Amino acid sequence: MAIQPWRTAKVIRIIDETPNTKRYVLEIPELTSFDFVPGQFITFDLPIDEKPSRRLRSYSIASWPNGTNVLELVIVLNVEGKGTPWMFKNIVEGSEMTLRGPQGVFHLPETIDRDIFFVCTGTGIAPFRAMCNHILNHNIPHQNLYLVFGTRFKEDLLYHEEMQELEKKLPGFHYIPTLSRQQWEGRTGYVHGIYEELCSNKQPAYFYLCGWKNMLDETKKRIMEMGYDKKSIHQESYG
């Protein structure tokens, strides 16, 4: 795959999704259409360090291909880092940012001939939002789609109402959020018990994982202990 050139993007909208998470909508003026595969990511070059390699920050694309030059990212503030504190402080609507992409090979199978479990925490929902809406928009044949989304508190559930609406529109799509630090009307605890319960009959399945490395490692371990092959697991990590 050819390396994409660096381009200038303009921030056309910023949405406060949660108290510590923002949605950034960007337009790339030099392109008429930003073409990508749902699940891919872009990389920013941020002015936060003298060394180029320390300025790079990558984020999964949370929107889906629609024939325009606009894309959306959802980014959580990491107070211990340098990238997101700089962005949250300095980037406003109208700001220009340097980015490269799309990149990555984290994407749907060519044929969805078995159930898919999308397991994520936090902003790891971004590529799965893109994938599921792409399936809906193109009427792609599929089996059951399970989005198992874990956060600590209800206020941290990204795209919550949108996913509830998608559950009504997309046949076979099951949105299963779970909270680890709060009692509410939905599931509680970590993501692991949910996919283990849903896979108790060991049906053929693909597993797509996105989130912090510790969650990915634990999930991959448990899936293989259930008897699934490593080749059925696809993952995208951050942090």
Provide mean pLDDT across the span 212-220: 93
- Residues facing residue 208 across a β-bridge: 118, 234
- Where does CATH 2.40.30.10 sit in the chain? 6-103
Instruction: Determine how β-strand 115-121 pairs with β-strand 21-27.
Output: unpaired
In the chain, the amino acid numbered 170 is L
Tokens of 154: 């209800």
Task: Encode pLDDT of 160-203 as tens digits.
Answer: 999 999 999 999 999 999 999 999 999 999 999 999 999 999 99
- Report residue 234 CA to chain centroid gap: 13
- State the DSSP code for 4: P
Q: Where, residue-wise, is CATH 3.40.50.80 in the chain?
A: 115-238
Higher pLDDT, 42 or 19: 42
pLDDT value of position 238: 72
Q: Convert the pLDDT of each residue in 127-158 to its tens digit.
A: 999 999 999 999 999 999 999 999 999 999 99
Query: What is the reported pLDDT for 71?
Result: 98
212 has pLDDT over 90: no
Which class is 115-238 in CATH?
A: alpha beta
Hey, is 162 helix, strand or coil?
helix
> What tens digit of pLDDT does each residue of 87-114 get?
999 999 999 999 999 999 999 999 999 9
CB-based contacts of 197, cutoff 8 Å, min separation 6: none
Residue 1: pLDDT band with limits 50, 70, 90: low
- Rounded distance, CA 143 to CA 147, Å? 13
Give the list of residues 6+ apart from residue 177 with CB closer than 8 angstroms, or none.
149, 150, 151, 157, 160, 163, 186, 187
Instruction: Give CA–CA dist 17/74, Å, rounded.
Output: 8
Q: Which fold has domain 6-103?
A: Elongation Factor Tu (Ef-tu); domain 3 (2.40.30)
Please tell me the number of Cα atoms within 13 Å of 73 on its side-chain side: 25
